[in-house]
Amino acid sequence: MAIGRTRRTQTRVDYWPGFVDALSTLLLAIMFLLSVFVLAQFLLSQEITGKDAVLNRLNDQIDELTSLLALERTSKQDLEDSLANLEASLLDAEAERSRLQNLLESGTGSSAERDSQIGQLSSDLDEERQISQRALSQVELLNQQISALRRQIAALENVLEAAEEKDRESQTKISDLGRRLNVALAQRVQELNRYRSDFFGRLREILSDRPDIQIVGDRFVFPSEVLFASGAAELNPEGQVEMKKIADALLQISREIPEDIQWVLRVDGHTDNIPLSGTGRYRDNWELSQARALAVVKFFIDEGISAERLVAAGFGEFQPLEESDSDEARAKNRRIELKLTER
């Protein structure tokens, strides 16, 4: 048994030394190739560096040649300009020489030409004298026409002065008529004021039992609560009674006022500054004040007062008697005003 194991051991081959030798040889070959590559790379870089230096020298030479070419072109242009100037000077000199030659050649016949020119000038002078004579004749005619125009202007001035005198007289008459008209108007105003005073005096007597109705200047002021329900524009029974008194007084005084006095009774509607909701019949205080003034006017018309003598106006909340926001001030501002005035 032991003898068999020894025989197998002796018969096994060892490959390792050969593998190591082959690997060493391969490494030596690779290192040799790398050395050759490095050497070739070095030689190639040296060659490229030398060619770059040569190329740079060539570029510098090209730049120098370009500069020289530009200088040559500039010099050529300057020479061409100088040549053109010389040619122009030459042409001028030749033209001057030709002119002098012509003068020299024409000198022999200048006397005859001068004689001809003198004759032509004499003829022209005679024509100018004839033209001047005709012009003098025309000037004389124009002077005569101017004299005639001056006489006509003097006649027109006389007519104008007469017209201005008449105009001054007319202006005097117009001024006098204006003064008379102003006096007549003042008399009419005084008459209307007298009838207004009578009308207001009768209203004071009629409404003496109503302390809530006030007189403010030349107006009668009625609180809206006396005439209308809150937010409404229809006269209530109490308001109709009070307006009936005023209508009767106005009818009575209107019979006494002359027809040529142009008078009207103005009915003004006023509200407080509380805005309406906008959902009711009237959108705002403007419409409510106007509607209340119209209601009073229509009532007066139904009572027999001529519509030509009535005026309705709505002022909303924009003409208050008192600026305060208290309940008392708002109550005073809600009102109907009556005023007898001129149309």
Residue 1 is predicted with a pLDDT of: 46
pLDDT in tens, 59-105: 777 777 777 777 767 766 776 776 677 677 767 777 777 776 777 66
CB 280 within 8 A of CB 327: no
Mean per-residue pLDDT, 197-215: 71
Q: What is the pLDDT of residue 107?
A: 57
The pair of structure tokens assigned to 223 is 């609180």
Residue 133 in tokens? 């004579």
Q: Which residue has the higher pLDDT, 147 or 114?
A: 147
Cβ atoms 222, 246 nearer than 8 A: no
The listed range with the strongest mean pLDDT (89-103, 207-221, 234-248) is: 234-248
Percent of the chain with pLDDT over 90: 24
Neighbours of 195 (CB within 10 A): 18
Does 304 have pLDDT greater than 90? yes
Cβ proximity of 246 and 299 under 8 Å? no
Q: What is the pLDDT of residue 255?
A: 85
322 vs 178, residue with greater confidence: 322
CATH fold of 190-342 reads 60s Ribosomal Protein L30; Chain: A; (3.30.1330)
User: CB of 220 within 8 A of CB of 268?
Assistant: no
Q: Where are the chain's structural domains?
A: 190-342
pLDDT (0 to 100) of residue 312:
96
Q: What is the biggest distance separating any 2 CA atoms in the chain, rounded to whole angstroms?
A: 183
Give the global pTM.
0.46
Give tens-digit pLDDT for 267-293. Answer: 999 999 999 887 888 999 999 999 999
Name which residue leads in pLDDT, 155 or 173: 155
Percent of the chain that is helix, strand, coil (3-state, to 5):
75, 10, 20
Residue 181: per-residue pLDDT: 59
